[in-house]
């Protein structure tokens, strides 16, 4: 029987918590070899990759984010910046590493998403002018709906996806574009940072032309996870799981590391 963990929508003051929990979950799967699915959401937030913290004018870029109402947080996984808000669902498929290659792990998340939305034609391939472009960007009709990153710890791996379910995707893209314009200045679109075009992305709801909700999306992924693994899914609350598994000490340690990682923002 596989697990699914869900979390409440965390306010900005607690934006580091789901990242700390993800690392605990990866280590847990490394030990138990039991796949799990982790859903989480944040209030309006710009999630920065470590590369984003090395822009020449970070303070100017952070100022644009704060003015737009998207305070930043630095994540532990690789990649570049993405937006999070209550209409975006973050989904982590956490599995044993076994003989997984980078591509085969990404392929599992793609398969899971296609099973969750069988009525959509979803393609993979980099959307170069989206934010956080990558080889396994997921698109519909040429517009990106999701991006995927990986994080490996010991014998566990998390394939982490942000899925734009609904909401103002063009506004999100403009926020990210403004960040890079301010933080890179004349080097916008250079040195491995994307020339963000807000029109390069869309939402699943827009593609489906309906009012898709986060809860409906979670249900689709849970059903797809059960079908692909041929196992029933036990849904648990993350806080109850931490208590039951006595992982709070590990969680506190991971959270401390996230706080240290984010000191660069506090010092601006």
Distance CA 157, CA 150 (A): 7
Radius of gyration of the chain (CA): 18
Catalytic residue (choose from 17, 65, 105, 132):
132
Backbone angles phi, psi at 132, to 5 degrees: 50, 55
Residues of 194-228 as b/e, b for ≥16 C-beta within 10 angstroms? bbbbbebbbbbbbbeeeebebeebbebbbebbbeb
For residue 233, the cross-strand partners are 2
For residue 92, the cross-strand partners are 38, 160
* Tokens matching residue 201: 């992305």
132: annotated active-site residue: yes
Distance CA 138, CA 55 (A): 26
Distance CA 73, CA 120 (A): 32
Angle between helices 248-261 and 238-245 (to 10 degrees): 120
If you ran DSSP here, which 8-state letter would residue 57 be given? T
Active site residues: 132
């Amino acid at each position: 029987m596989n697990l699914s963990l869900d979390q409440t929508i965390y306010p900005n003051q607690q934006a580091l918590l789901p990242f700390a929990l993800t690392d605990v979950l990866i280590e847990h799967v490394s030990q138990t070899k039991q796949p799990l699915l982790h859903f989480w959401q944040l209030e309006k937030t710009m999630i920065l990759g470590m590369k984003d913290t090395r822009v020449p004018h970070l303070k100017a870029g952070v100022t644009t984010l704060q003015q737009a109402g998207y305070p930043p947080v630095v994540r532990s996984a690789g990649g570049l910046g993405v937006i999070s808000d209550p209409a975006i669902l973050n989904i982590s498929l956490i599995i044993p590493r076994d003989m997984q290659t980078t591509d085969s792990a990404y392929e599992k998340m793609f398969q899971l998403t296609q099973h969750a939305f069988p009525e959509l034609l979803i393609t993979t391939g980099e959307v170069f002018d989206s934010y956080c472009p990558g080889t396994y960007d997921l698109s519909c009709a040429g517009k990106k709906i999701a991006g995927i990153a990986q994080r490996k710890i010991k014998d566990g791996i998390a394939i982490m996806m942000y899925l734009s379910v609904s909401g103002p995707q063009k506004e999100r893209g403009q926020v990210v574009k403004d960040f890079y314009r301010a933080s890179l200045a004349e080097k916008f679109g250079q040195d491995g940072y994307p020339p963000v075009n807000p029109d390069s992305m869309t939402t699943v709801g827009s593609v489906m032309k309906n009012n898709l909700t986060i809860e409906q999306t979670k249900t689709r992924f849970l059903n797809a996870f059960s079908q692909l693994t041929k196992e029933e899914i036990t849904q648990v609350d993350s806080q109850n799981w931490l208590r039951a598994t006595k992982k709070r000490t590990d969680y506190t340690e991971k959270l401390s590391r996230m706080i240290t990682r984010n000191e660069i923002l506090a010092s601006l």
